[in-house]
Amino acid sequence: MTKQEILKKYFGYSTFRKGQEELIDSIMQRKDTVGVMPTGAGKSICYQVPAVMLEGITLVISPLISLMKDQVGALNQAGIRAAYLNSSLTSGQFRKALQLAREGTYKIVYVAPERLESEDFLDFALHINVSMLCIDEAHCISQWGQDFRPSYLKIVHFIEKLPQKPVISAFTATATKTVREDMVRILKLQEYTLLVTGFDRSNLYFAVKKPKNKFGFVEKYVEDNWEKSGVIYCATRKNVEEVCYRLQAVGLPVTKYHAGLSDEERKLNQEDFIYDRKPIMVATNAFGMGIDKSNVRYVLHYNMPKNIESYYQEAGRAGRDGEAAECILLYGGQDVITNQFFIENNRDNGELDSETLELVKQQDRQRLKKMTFYCNTNGCLREYILNYFGEVSSNYCGNCSNCMTEFEEADVTEIAEIIVGCIKECGRSYGMNTIAQTLHGSSADIVKRYNLNENSCYGSLKNVSITHIRQVMNYLVLENVLYLSDNEYTVVKWNHEKVLRKPVIMKIATEKEQEDRRVKRKLQPEETEYDFQLFEFLRELRLEISKEAGAPPYIIFNDKTLKNLARSLPETKEQMLEVPGVGEVKFRRYGQRFLALIAEYKRR
Ligand code: ADP
Ligand code: ZN
């Protein structure tokens, strides 16, 4: 079979996505291959298609049990025999799986890195034909990555023990150059193919909001989107508990996940979410690594995360099926303080010496600063993220809250001058809020304590709201006229090297729009032009089948496929096979039931 035939037969797709073909071709030429693609871009197919074409067995190293289970489930549903070997198996199950694998039952075997050194696994690996060794989440091998896993270093020894070197393929969504170079070096790749596709996820809508009442915003948003699945990330367990409790109280189908729950409860809650029994998940960042639920329609951040890397990774769990999805960050000044606290009190790096530790902290502070800028920029949010990862892009995407908001240009020269004047005059540095209060003429304790009421600018901006003063200050920080220092307490300083270029024109969202920056994006025809009621019936049928098959609904067919069915209303096998996501194997298993439902629906 050709790669196209495999794509159609097992996965139900007719065309490859960007980068997939090149990566597959490279593997088929027996070249070591590294693919860096964003979450949801379709990395799995890049090694699964060649795995079917190659003669022997493909071993896939993967760090996460949940991810393996999902992938193996999806492969078996698609008609490709696969299994996993990890610590969730009893030793009996493990031996049985190995035996079946030895007999050639599986084309693809997922294995946890810790297993590579176990004796029975090694014995197995030495007696089979390993055609490819694929390393998923390959950035885990680098100490510079965010998720370094020492067990990944075992991969190298393992490869060296094999009688014949298999083709090595490695995949990750991590962008930075350092990590990529580390991967190549540690894995000792020589003549290899490296393909980095763009990081943009054009189906994701990005927004930053600053509601006074965060919970009120979340409640309304979730209610307005009640039929959809979504994730709400919070910074702390306490926030998770509270948000979850309050959403439950208004009768929404929500569950929760954080490190303080028992293993059992976490597992249960995760399954409730994956099976859409409770399609709304409130969680800390402990949740999500490797969860490939493709129909997540929104990711809300109740708190600002600590850096853009984490934000993009978490937000990227939305819309993995390629359908439109929304990523909304709720920003509040307190979030900066919470994150600063986390950075200063980070105990994860206990084994580092104090110098390195300080270096790590400095990096973390820098990252936090850039995250804060994201929340305060008036420019295109997508551009900001892509630039952060070193990609050039246009300054207008048309699908983020800033591109969708009408701004008024305001001349803030005078305010800017007064702010700079005030900061220059202060003998030492203060936080933004203190400066804003001084300018506004506040009688707050902190102003009196430091005699700031004696500053000649005290009260100069009496008629300007504190919020607006802060807005202008944030703007000056973005423009580099002011900067935030990296000390334990963030203080704002004047940049001696930068003169204030006049006039200072700043884009400000009109009052009304600030309150009402609701999602106004125009929907694409394929998102709206399908029969909604039929879609609901198809979903019900899918749920029924998913229970019978013991696999999550989105592994049976994803939402995009169901919407396509509800639009094209196929009557025959041939017509149904044309729908993206319907492969032959799945058609054989479930096709007739869907066709029957559609026919019945049409008759009514
Ligand atoms: P990644 O591992 O890169 O995050 P996945 O491999 O999980 O992404 O793929 C994300 C989604 O895209 C899956 O639902 C997958 O079926 C779908 N997909 C992958 N390749 C294609 C393709 N060529 N055409 C249509 N959909 C695809
Ligand atoms: Zn934009």
Domains of the chain in start order, with CATH, are 3-196 (3.40.50.300), 204-335 (3.40.50.300), 405-513 (1.10.10.10), 532-603 (1.10.150.80)
Averages of pLDDT over each 10 residues, the chain, 604 residues = 95 92 97 90 94 96 84 93 92 92 94 91 93 94 75 92 94 81 91 90 94 94 92 96 95 94 93 90 85 88 93 91 92 90 77 76 88 93 90 87 84 92 87 89 86 90 88 85 72 82 80 46 63 91 91 88 93 94 94 96 89
Positive or negative torsion for Cα 294, 300, 304, 308: positive
Ligand in nearest proximity to the CA of 137: 1
In the reported structure, the alpha carbon of residue 350 is separated from the centroid of ligand 1 by a whole-number distance in angstroms of 38
Ligand 1 probe mutation, 11, 296, 312, most atoms within 8 A of CB: 11
Tell whether omega for the bond before 503 is within 30 degrees of 0, i.e. cis: yes
Ligand 1 centroid to 67 CA: how many Å? Answer: 14
Contact by Cβ (8 Å): 86, 68: yes
- What confidence score (pLDDT) does residue 129 get? 94
Ligand closest to the CA atom of residue 15: 1
- The pLDDT value recorded for residue 97 is 93
Q: Which residues contact 59 (CB under 8 A, 6 or more apart)?
A: 109, 110, 111, 125, 130, 132, 133, 134, 166
Here the tokens at position 552 are: 């999550």
Ligand lying closest to the C-alpha of residue 75: 1
CA dihedral (84, 87, 91, 95) in degrees, to 10, reads: 20
What pLDDT is stored for residue 520 in this prediction?
A: 46
pTM of the model: 0.73
CA gap 349, 225 in Å, rounded: 40
pLDDT at 351: 64
Residue owning the nearest CA to atom 10 of ligand 1: 40
CA of 17 to the centre of ligand 1 (A): 8
pLDDT at 313: 87
CA atoms within 13 A on the CB side of 223: 12
Question: Is residue 447 exposed (0-12), middle (13-18) or buried (19+ Cβ within 10 Å)?
Answer: buried
| Nearest ligand, CA 378 | 2
| pLDDT confidence of residue 559 | 85
The answer to whether the CB of 132 falls within 8 A of the CB of 88 is no
Please indicate whether residue 321, judged by its CB atom, sits closer than 6 Å to ligand 1: yes
Ligand 1 atom closest to Cα of 136?
Answer: 2
Phi-psi map region of 137: left, alpha, beta (phi>0 left; psi -120 to 50 alpha): left
Q: Which residue's CA is minimally distant from atom 17 of ligand 1? A: 42
Residue nearest to atom 18 of ligand 1 (CA): 42
Ion ligand 2 neighbours, Cβ < 5 Å = 380, 382, 397, 400, 403
Residues 6 or more apart from 279 whose CB is under 8 A from it?
228, 229, 230, 253, 273
Residue 474 has a pLDDT of 84
> Which residues face 484 on adjacent strands?
492
Neighbours of 526 (CB within 10 A): 13
Ligand 1 pocket residue status of 326, Cβ below 6 Å: no
Check if 37 has its Cβ closer than 6 Å to any atom of ligand 1.
Answer: yes
- What pLDDT score was predicted for residue 43? 93
Residue 601's CB: how many other CB atoms inside 10 A? 15
Q: Can you give the pLDDT at residue 22?
A: 96
